[in-house]
Amino acid sequence: MKHQRLVAVALWLAGLAVCALLVARTHFVADMSAFLPKAPNARQQMLVEQLRDGIIARLIMVGIEADSPAERARLSEALAADLRKNPTFVGVQNGSAETLAHDQAYFFDNRYLLSPSINADRFSANGLHEAIQTSIDGLSGSAGMMLKHLLPRDPTGETLQLIEQFSGSEQPNSVEGVWASRDGKRALLLAQTSGAGSDIDAQAQAQAAIKKAFAEIPGRKADARLLLSGASVFSVSSRQTIESEVTRLATASTLLVICLLLAIYRSPTLLLLGLLPVFSGALAGIAAVGLGFGQIHGLTLGFGTTLIGEAVDYSIYLFIQRADTGDARGFWRTIRLGVLTSIAGFVALLFSGFPGLSQLGLYSISGLVAAALVTRFVLPQLIPAKAKLRDLSRFGLLLNGAIARLQSVRSGIVILLLAALGLLIWRGDAVWNRELGALSPVSAAEQKLDTELRGDMGAPEMRYMLVLTAPDVEHALQAAENLSTPLRELTQQGVIAGFTSPANVLPSHASQQQRRAALPEESALRTNLGQALQDMPIKAERLEGFVADIGKARTAPQLTRASLNGTSSALLVDSLVVQRARDVLVMLPLRAPANGEINAAKVDQALGEAGLPVTTFIDLKAESFGLYATYLHEAAVLAGLGCLAIVVLLLVFLRSLPRTLRICAPLACSVLCVTAGLVATGTSLTILHLVGLLLVVAVGSNYALFFDQSTLQEDEAARRQTIVSLCVANLTTVSSFGVLAASKVPVLSALGLTVGPGAFLALLFSAALAPKAIKSLQGNRA
Amino acid sequence: MRKIDCCKLALSLLLCTALPAMAAELQLGELMQMLAQAKSAKATFIEKKYIGIVDKPVESSGELSFTAPDKLEKRTLKPKAESLVLDGDALTVDIPGKRRTTIKLQDYPEVAAFVESIRGTLAGDRSALERVYKLELSGHPEKWLLVLTPTQAKMSKIVTRIRMQGSHSEIKSIDFDQADGDRSEMLVTSIQAQ
């Protein structure tokens, strides 16, 4: 006997040591990736990758507020100058004259390699005549001032053509020579980090560098403010929120459970013993997730705090029901079934497409199993014989009275259930929130600032785009060039308002080669020019600069990505041409016409007719909706299967349909009421609520099971004791989910708000609907 | 006692300077008032640009319209259709079939130099004009000449002088002398005035 005891404790201690080792090696993460889905299809995979690693995730939008436009411009210039020296950033733009000059020089100097109009015809006598006439006509218009300066060196108007490719794409306003918001009250700056968007440490470092640089600008007034936004800013702030939340939740939950247990047990020894399974369970949970996933997400730990409330249940049952040692075998059988039903629910989560949820599943399963095993095999060895629980029979009598009252208002409960059912039927499908953003831990204020800055930046709306892949950059740019013709046609038809192509600023080598080959030799050019100018008001000698520039362009080196350094086009190319492990991804953002919607069918048709079927048209909004719908569907299926598994388990173990139904009825009622309650309070349901409902069944089944078990107990005192233990266990669970409900992180609070009330209602309905208890109670009274 | 003397002196000085001019010539204040009374105007224009590198003047024509207080529209029909609408601080350039761009006037002083002078004159907005130009008026109400000289360096780098001729509240011609030696002449023929 003594030997057995030692073995159990030794095994437990060894297990703890192994777990502790594993935990020490587990990597903790707290980015938002746990709630970014894995990848149902290629388009959505693209979306997810872009959210996580794309250029968008590497851009930090900076707003500067100060009392005067001149001061804002000074701060913007000083900050930009400082950040440009910092290797943390690959690009910093603030609309300064310097970048503008670089941009202009790039387009003007390289016009004969860049312009899509360049071909042999362009420099024939006829071609020159036509192009020069167009330029002269243009002098009369609003662009005349600019054109007349360009004309001597660019009589065919290539520079104007290049500029017109960008018309329609919005640029930020400019005040005092730097970018400014629409209302003119903020200076704007855009910084591109060298670190990947998914590297949150690098992003946090980059943001700290911006703040430090701003703080160190000499002569900065105290009221000057720096605002940061962007996907990476969200990642960093979410991580901070999640980290601080997890610590806060775990502390609050532990304290609450300790207070509750102290109030009931009034024995520090029992309290400490009661916490042993919890501690062991948490350790086993983290170790298992670390082993299974290689890392554990902060949110999993956040959810995991609820394990405190659940794992403590088994020891509560043990301590309180131990007073009566009558049916030990029955007691452990019920515990075992309870653990199994809970596991059945959490197993469903293992298959979720959200890494965060599957981690939670594994964490909870291993935690519960460990807690139950410790309660079963270790605790009984450690309980000192004299550690006697105080008499709880008064509490038991009180509860009995409450249950009787509850059962006398059954008709009220039926009305409540009908009302809940009615509400849900009436609201139908409208109860679901279909936005992926509903899961985002980003606060409304942060989102508002982001929208403002984005609008001010005139950032290209990334809702619609064409996406294609190519083996290398050259082929990628060629493919983008091939799209120009159908896209220009679509623009003329009004299907799209315009498009942005990386090939506009960096043509493929093939195109550059072709254009260069189309440039005539000096003698041929002079002959053609002479003919072209015969009846025109411009003399050939005024165009010497043009002849010289063509000569230079014929031998100029081809443009590469490096040629773009220092221009704002560098960012454009980097964001639209993405080098991946095995291929190159190209994106061409499309601008929607005035009605805001692009007809996908027409775009697909145009691409098909042009023989460009490998290009995919993506509507990010539709994809994100679709993605969320997939997940909602998946969660619904998993929740359904989880519930089914629980029912099957009950049937198999209890071998009684009526008893199974008696246990399931309160759970169903609880799920119904919680859902209706959430809907009635204006919550639109997300995947997390759905998962929460599954947990209501998984966790609540324990209470229903024990309650049902209690109705079978012959001994009145023993039954009361069981009910007391149930009540205490339920309180700890409800309080730890209640703590979760108060979280600032939406995914955590959604789960807390669903499972907390659900677990409580499960016990309440179990009591209210228990048939045998009624008879016996009535008999008792008589 | 002293106070009254001062006032008298000031008044007599003012009268001395004002009186001779009133006899025959049009006063700037009067012209501005006259112009300000016209709430809308519509005209056709023919513009000739004399540009150094082109041997012949570049000619264009179209319509001008003004609606008080601050909307000016220049619609060029030949040789290339284009419309310029200045409304408040927003200048919208619309080239049919090509592009439509709206810019803020304050960001483009070179554009402002041209359009603000015409709009300010049509609106009779003396203070707006005097903010950026030195104004000199000569002639009679039937035939007056208003010369605007930019006072700000960034504008005088583009336009050195603007000359407007007119009769009563109608502008007949607008000539721009540009800093680089180029110039333009615009002949305006009123269609209707109210």
pLDDT at position B62: 93
Contact A199, A97 (CB under 8 A): no
Closest Cβ opposite residue B54 in set A139, A164, A167: A139
For A136, name the nearest residue in chain B, comparing CA atoms only. B58
Residue A31 clears pLDDT 70, i.e. is over it: no
Average pLDDT across chain A, whole number: 84
Number of domains observed in the structure of chain B: 1
pLDDT at position B15: 42
DSSP 8-state class, residue A378? I
Question: Between A171 and A361, whose confidence is greater?
Answer: A361
Return phi, psi of residue A741, to 5°. Answer: -60, -25
Question: Between B77 and A310, whose confidence is greater?
Answer: B77
pLDDT at position A365: 92
Residue B14 domain flag: no
The answer to whether the Cβ–Cβ distance between A139 and B51 falls below 8 Å is yes
pLDDT at position A46: 67
Range of the domain at B116: 26-193
Both tokens assigned to A212: 């430090």
Instruction: Give the burial class of B5: count Cβ atoms within 10 A of its Cβ; 0-12 exposed, 13-18 middle, 19 or more buried.
Output: exposed
| Domains of chain A (ranges, CATH numbers) | 1-30+267-390 (1.20.1640.10), 392-431+656-782 (1.20.1640.10)
Give Cβ neighbours of residue A179 (< 8 Å, ≥ 6 apart): A76, A93, A94, A95, A172, A173, A187, A188, A189, A190, A457
Positive/negative CA dihedral, A481, A483, A485, A491: negative
Give Cβ neighbours of residue A678 (< 8 Å, ≥ 6 apart): A685, A689, A753, A754
- Taking residue A599's Cβ as centre, other Cβ atoms within 10 Å add up to 16
The answer to whether the Cβ–Cβ distance between A538 and B54 falls below 8 Å is yes
Q: How far apart are CA A494 and CA A594, in angstroms?
A: 9
Closest Cβ opposite residue B76 in set A140, A538, A542: A140
Closest Cβ opposite residue B53 in set A137, A148, A164: A148
Q: Where are the alpha helices (DSSP H) in A225-267?
A: 231-265
Q: Return the bridge partners of A499, or none.
A: A590
How confident is the model over A349-407, as pLDDT tens digits? 888 877 778 888 999 999 999 999 998 888 888 887 666 677 777 888 888 888 888 88
The answer to whether the Cβ–Cβ distance between B58 and A141 falls below 8 Å is no
The band of B157, judged by pLDDT with boundaries at 50, 70 and 90, is: confident
Question: Between A468 and A595, whose confidence is greater?
Answer: A468
Q: How far apart are CA A209 and CA A519, in angstroms?
A: 48
Give Cβ neighbours of residue A291 (< 8 Å, ≥ 6 apart): A22
pLDDT at position B9: 44
pLDDT at position A388: 66
pLDDT at position B12: 44
For A537, name the nearest residue in chain B, comparing CA atoms only. B55
Could you give the ipTM of this predicted complex?
A: 0.77
For B178, name the nearest residue in chain A, comparing CA atoms only. A145
Residue A771 clears pLDDT 60, i.e. is over it: yes
Residue among A134, A142, A154 with most chain B CBs within 10 A, to mutate: A142
- Nearest chain A Cα distance for residue B88, angstroms: 15
For A533, name the nearest residue in chain B, comparing CA atoms only. B54
- Taking residue A648's Cβ as centre, other Cβ atoms within 10 Å add up to 12
Q: Angle formed by the axes of helices A298-322 and A746-769, to 10°?
A: 20
Strands A295-297 and A27-29 turn out to be parallel
Residue B16 domain flag: no
The answer to whether the Cβ–Cβ distance between B104 and A173 falls below 8 Å is yes
The answer to whether the Cβ–Cβ distance between A137 and B80 falls below 8 Å is yes
Average pLDDT over residues A300-309: 79
Residue where the block lists tokens 């095994």? A11
Average pLDDT across chain B, whole number: 80
Average pLDDT over residues A7-18: 88
- Nearest chain B Cα distance for residue A151, angstroms: 8
Residue A459 clears pLDDT 70, i.e. is over it: no
Residue where the block lists tokens 């020296």? A85
Residue where the block lists tokens 């000074």? A74
For A151, name the nearest residue in chain B, comparing CA atoms only. B53
The answer to whether the Cβ–Cβ distance between A145 and B110 falls below 8 Å is yes
Tell me which chain A residues have a C-beta less than 8 angstroms from the C-beta of B59.
140
- Taking residue A100's Cβ as centre, other Cβ atoms within 10 Å add up to 14
The band of B98, judged by pLDDT with boundaries at 50, 70 and 90, is: low
Residue B115 domain flag: yes
* Dihedral of the alpha carbons of B104, B106, B108, B114, in degrees to the nearest 10: 100
Show which residues on chain B lie within 8 Å of chain A, measured between beta carbons. Answer: 47, 49, 51-56, 58-60, 76, 79-80, 82, 84, 93, 95, 98-101, 104, 107, 110-111, 158, 182
Contact A280, A14 (CB under 8 A): no
- Nearest chain A Cα distance for residue B100, angstroms: 7
Q: How far apart are CA A485 and CA A468, in angstroms?
A: 16
Residue where the block lists tokens 């009268």? B15
**Percent of chain A whose pLDDT exceeds 70:** 91
Residue among B54, B78, B154 with most chain A CBs within 10 A, to mutate: B54
The band of B107, judged by pLDDT with boundaries at 50, 70 and 90, is: low
- Nearest chain B Cα distance for residue A130, angstroms: 14
- Taking residue A207's Cβ as centre, other Cβ atoms within 10 Å add up to 22
Residue A39 clears pLDDT 60, i.e. is over it: no
Residue A510 clears pLDDT 90, i.e. is over it: yes
Contact B51, B178 (CB under 8 A): no
The band of A600, judged by pLDDT with boundaries at 50, 70 and 90, is: confident
Residue where the block lists tokens 């004009």? B129
The answer to whether the Cβ–Cβ distance between A141 and B95 falls below 8 Å is yes
Residue among A140, A150, A171 with most chain B CBs within 10 A, to mutate: A140
- Nearest chain A Cα distance for residue B153, angstroms: 16
The amino acid at residue B124 is: G
Candidates A695, A704, A741, A738; CA nearest to A722 is A704
Give Cβ neighbours of residue A351 (< 8 Å, ≥ 6 apart): A358, A638
Q: How far apart are CA A513 and CA A530, in angstroms?
A: 27
Instruction: Give the burial class of A714: count Cβ atoms within 10 A of its Cβ; 0-12 exposed, 13-18 middle, 19 or more buried.
Output: exposed
Candidates A522, A523, A506; CA nearest to A555 is A522
Query: Per this entry, what is the length of chain B?
Result: 194
Please state which of the ranges A5-9, A556-560, A643-647, B144-148 shows the lowest mean pLDDT.
Answer: A5-9
Give Cβ neighbours of residue A569 (< 8 Å, ≥ 6 apart): A103, A106, A505, A506
**CATH code assigned at B43:** 2.50.20.10
Contact B91, B78 (CB under 8 A): no
Q: How far apart are CA A321 and CA A726, in angstroms?
A: 10
Closest Cβ opposite residue B53 in set A141, A145, A152: A152
The answer to whether the Cβ–Cβ distance between B53 and A542 falls below 8 Å is yes
Residue B63 clears pLDDT 70, i.e. is over it: yes
- Nearest chain B Cα distance for residue A542, angstroms: 7
Interface size A-B, in CB pairs within 8 Å, comes to 57
pLDDT at position B109: 66
Query: Between residues 137 and 166 of chain A, which touch chain B (CB distance below 8 Å)?
Result: 137-142, 144-145, 148, 151-152, 164
Q: How far apart are CA B187 and CA B174, in angstroms?
A: 7
The answer to whether the Cβ–Cβ distance between A136 and B54 falls below 8 Å is yes
Average pLDDT over residues A295-322: 81
pLDDT at position B6: 47
pTM beyond 0.80: no
The answer to whether the Cβ–Cβ distance between B110 and A537 falls below 8 Å is no
Tell me which chain B residues have a C-beta less than 8 angstroms from the C-beta of A130.
none
- Taking residue A627's Cβ as centre, other Cβ atoms within 10 Å add up to 22
- Nearest chain B Cα distance for residue A216, angstroms: 30
pLDDT at position A775: 44
The band of A35, judged by pLDDT with boundaries at 50, 70 and 90, is: low
Q: Where are the alpha helices (DSSP H) in A577-619?
A: 600-609
pLDDT at position A652: 92
* Residue A157 Ramachandran class (φ > 0 left, ψ -120 to 50 alpha, else beta): left
**Percent of chain A whose pLDDT exceeds 90:** 22
The answer to whether the Cβ–Cβ distance between A537 and B56 falls below 8 Å is yes
Both tokens assigned to A780: 């008792």
- Taking residue A529's Cβ as centre, other Cβ atoms within 10 Å add up to 22
How confident is the model over A544-593, as pLDDT tens digits? 999 999 999 999 899 999 998 878 888 888 888 888 788 888 888 888 88
The band of A673, judged by pLDDT with boundaries at 50, 70 and 90, is: very high
Please state which of the ranges A249-263, A385-399, A757-771 shows the lowest mean pLDDT.
Answer: A385-399
Residue where the block lists tokens 């179209």? B62
For B98, name the nearest residue in chain A, comparing CA atoms only. A164
Tell me which chain A residues have a C-beta less than 8 angstroms from the C-beta of B84.
142
Residue-by-residue DSSP string for A103-118? HHHHHHHTHHHH-TT-
The band of B21, judged by pLDDT with boundaries at 50, 70 and 90, is: very low
Q: Angle formed by the axes of helices A328-350 and A298-322, to 10°?
A: 170
The answer to whether the Cβ–Cβ distance between B107 and A174 falls below 8 Å is yes
Residue where the block lists tokens 């501005």? B32
- Taking residue A9's Cβ as centre, other Cβ atoms within 10 Å add up to 14
CA angle, A589 as apex, A585 and A590 as ends, to 5°?
A: 140
Q: How far apart are CA B194 and CA A506, in angstroms?
A: 55
- Nearest chain B Cα distance for residue A164, angstroms: 8
Query: Between residues 160 and 219 of chain A, which touch chain B (CB distance below 8 Å)?
Result: 164, 167-168, 173-175
Average pLDDT over residues A666-670: 93
Give Cβ neighbours of residue A687 (< 8 Å, ≥ 6 apart): A354, A439, A628, A631, A632, A635
- Nearest chain A Cα distance for residue B53, angstroms: 7
Contact A406, A202 (CB under 8 A): no
The answer to whether the Cβ–Cβ distance between B54 and A141 falls below 8 Å is no
The amino acid at residue A471 is: P
Both tokens assigned to A539: 């003399």
Question: Between A483 and A713, whose confidence is greater?
Answer: A483
How confident is the model over B169-185, as pLDDT tens digits? 888 999 999 888 889 99
How confident is the model over A116-159, as pLDDT tens digits? 888 888 999 899 999 998 888 888 877 777 788 888 899 998 98
Closest Cβ opposite residue B49 in set A144, A164, A175: A144
Residue A240 clears pLDDT 60, i.e. is over it: yes
Question: Which element (helix H / strand E) includes B176?
Answer: strand B170-178
CA angle, A629 as apex, A626 and A635 as ends, to 5°?
A: 145
Give Cβ neighbours of residue A533 (< 8 Å, ≥ 6 apart): A128, A129, A132, A539, A540, A543
- Taking residue A735's Cβ as centre, other Cβ atoms within 10 Å add up to 22
Contact A159, A167 (CB under 8 A): no
The band of A759, judged by pLDDT with boundaries at 50, 70 and 90, is: very high
Average pLDDT over residues B108-133: 81
Side-chain-side CA neighbours of residue A226 (13 Å): 23
Please state which of the ranges A254-258, A571-575, A663-667, B137-141 shows the lowest mean pLDDT.
Answer: A571-575
- Taking residue A85's Cβ as centre, other Cβ atoms within 10 Å add up to 9
The band of B17, judged by pLDDT with boundaries at 50, 70 and 90, is: very low
Closest Cβ opposite residue B99 in set A145, A168, A538: A168
Both tokens assigned to A280: 């062991």
